[in-house]
């Protein structure tokens, strides 16, 4: 397997900079499998999603919430430091793993200042993993209150301007603040759409996967199977696994919901840290349909799509580009069917 097999040309102007309004008016590409050798596709909108669901389906969402984990700090010398918090390392959420710019130039124990609030953080050097650093938050109340004062909701680097309303980078069903990035396929749902889906006899199940470092890590090896996945925390309760086993079809909203479910099944553990890397030949145990946004080339997310529907992802992505779809976190979405083969 070569990384070049998972490349495609993504023009810069196709990367969405703002989300669709209303949420459920984003475009929805529906995968209908292959018919007489050609990939069959329908072009709809997210508000049409109920037409492709049926009673007995289980809709699984990742209800993690994004923390205001981007910190813009200053060194005593006046130099700028940008911190992106990834994972809490201590029960009180005082110490975190983080991406830090310029982490390689900072000294262990160096105090970093948030000028506007007079708050401080302490840099504790590089973690053993080598990709991230340890940051200590200096607060007297609690971590979330501290971050609400000094932090910003982190947007991906390819989004060049801030959102007028930071809640547009949160799902309407989000609960526990924990993630460094949003489970973006879920951004398309509205309370009314969820109500309509529920009235059809489709059950809603919640899982958690805390989005961390792998969201920001490109594959850098010629053979993608040599790529090292970092661990992310997931939790799936026993009731959800019972629902999965009894559902007509399991419809996962986003790649993070997929990883949570398939990690719980593959590891036979309902919670913990997972480094599951889904690629060709993966033994699917839970997910039948996947709703997901369009991903960057040469990423583990694209390898997951390839494992799910095979090489027809190329036809799907080409059709999306030809039909004006917007890509990546704030862009449009698709509904993929693992069982939709040749008809």
User: Would you write out the chain's pLDDT as a tens digit for each of its 343 residues?
Assistant: 999 999 999 999 999 999 999 999 999 999 998 876 778 999 999 999 999 999 999 999 999 999 999 999 999 999 999 999 998 999 999 999 999 999 989 999 999 999 899 999 999 999 987 778 999 999 999 999 999 999 999 999 899 988 989 999 999 999 999 999 999 999 999 999 999 999 999 999 999 999 886 666 778 899 999 998 888 999 999 999 999 999 999 999 999 999 999 999 999 999 999 999 999 999 999 999 999 999 999 999 999 999 999 999 999 999 999 999 999 999 999 999 998 865 4
pLDDT at 215: 62
Residue 27 and residue 174 share a domain: yes
pLDDT at 319: 97
Q: Are 65 and 170 in contact (CB under 8 A)?
A: yes
Q: Among 88, 120, 152, give the residue marking a domain's end.
A: 152
Residue 169 and residue 138 share a domain: no
CA-to-CA distance for 65 and 59, rounded, in angstroms?
A: 18
Domain count, the chain: 2
Residue 244 and residue 185 share a domain: yes
Residue 134 and residue 172 share a domain: no
Residue 288 and residue 193 share a domain: yes
Q: At what angle do helices 300-309 and 255-267 cross, to 10 degrees?
A: 70
- As beta bridge partners, residue 179 has 66
Residue 76 and residue 61 share a domain: no
Instruction: Check which CATH number belongs to the domain holding 269 and give it.
Output: 3.40.1780.10
Residue 157 belongs to a domain: no
Residue with tokens 């989300």: 19
pLDDT at 34: 80
- 3-state SS, one letter per residue, for the chain: CCHHHHCCCCCHHHECCCCCCCHHHCEEEEEEEEECCEEEEEEEEHHHHHHHCCCCCEEEEECCEECCCEEEEECCCCCEEEEEEEEECCCCCCEEEEEEECHHHCCCCCEEEECCCCEEEEEEEECCCCCCEEEEEECCCCHHHHHHHHEECCCCCCCCCCCCCHHHHCCCCCCCEEECCCCHHHHHCCHHHHHHHHHCCCEEEEEEECCCHHHCCCCCCCCHHHCCCCCEEEECCHHHHHHHHHCCCEEEECHHHHHHHHHHHHHCCCEEEECCCCCCCCCCCCCCEEEEECCCCCCHHHHHHHHHHHHHHHHHHHHHHHCCCCECCCCCEEEEECCCCEC
Instruction: Check which CATH number belongs to the domain holding 142 and give it.
Output: 2.40.10.240
**Strand 289-293 to 333-337 pairing:** antiparallel
Q: Among 99, 123, 152, give the residue marking a domain's end.
A: 152
Q: Give the structural domain span for 115.
A: 70-152
Residue 317 belongs to a domain: yes
Residue 256 and residue 287 share a domain: yes
Residue 159 belongs to a domain: no
Residue 81 and residue 55 share a domain: no
Residue 59 and residue 146 share a domain: no
Q: Are 252 and 265 in contact (CB under 8 A)?
A: no
Residue 217 belongs to a domain: yes
Residue 209 and residue 60 share a domain: yes
Residue 225 and residue 82 share a domain: no
pLDDT at 230: 85
Q: Among 152, 186, 217, give the residue marking a domain's end.
A: 152
Residue 194 and residue 302 share a domain: yes
pLDDT at 342: 52
Residue 342 belongs to a domain: no
């Amino acid at each position: 397997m070569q990384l070049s097999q998972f490349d495609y040309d993504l023009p810069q102007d196709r990367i969405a900079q703002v989300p669709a309004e209303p949420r459920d008016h984003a475009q929805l590409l529906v995968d209908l499998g292959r018919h007489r050798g050609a990939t069959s596709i329908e072009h709809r909108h997210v508000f049409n999603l109920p037409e492709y669901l049926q009673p007995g389906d289980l809709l699984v969402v990742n209800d993690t919430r994004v923390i205001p984990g981007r910190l813009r700090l200053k060194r005593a010398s006046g130099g700028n430091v940008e911190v992106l918090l990834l994972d809490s390392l201590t029960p009180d959420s005082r110490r975190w793993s983080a991406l830090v710019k310029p982490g390689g130039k900072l000294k262990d124990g160096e105090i970093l200042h948030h000028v506007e609030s007079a708050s401080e953080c302490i840099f504790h050097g590089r973690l053993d993993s080598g990709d991230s650093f340890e940051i200590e938050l200096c607060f007297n109340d609690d971590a979330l209150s501290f971050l609400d004062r000094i932090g910003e909701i982190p947007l991906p680097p390819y989004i060049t301007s801030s959102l007028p309303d930071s809640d547009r980078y949160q799902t309407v069903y989000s609960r526990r603040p924990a993630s460094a990035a949003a489970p973006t396929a879920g951004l398309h749902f509205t309370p009314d759409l969820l109500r309509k889906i529920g009235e059809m006899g489709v059950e809603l199940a919640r899982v958690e996967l805390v989005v961390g470092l792998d969201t920001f890590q490109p594959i850098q090896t010629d053979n993608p199977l040599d790529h090292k996945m970092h661990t992310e925390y997931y939790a799936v309760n026993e009731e959800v696994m019972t629902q999965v086993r009894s559902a007509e079809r399991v419809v996962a909203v986003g790649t993070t919901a997929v990883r949570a479910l398939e990690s719980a099944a593959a590891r036979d553990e309902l919670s913990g840290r997972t480094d599951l890397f889904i690629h060709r030949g993966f033994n699917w145990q839970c997910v039948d349909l996947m709703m997901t946004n369009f991903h960057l080339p040469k990423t583990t997310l694209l390898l997951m799509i390839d494992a799910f529907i095979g090489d027809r992802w190329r036809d799907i992505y080409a059709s999306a580009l030809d039909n004006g779809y917007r890509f990546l976190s704030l862009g449009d979405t698709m509904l993929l069917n693992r069982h939709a083969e040749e008809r």
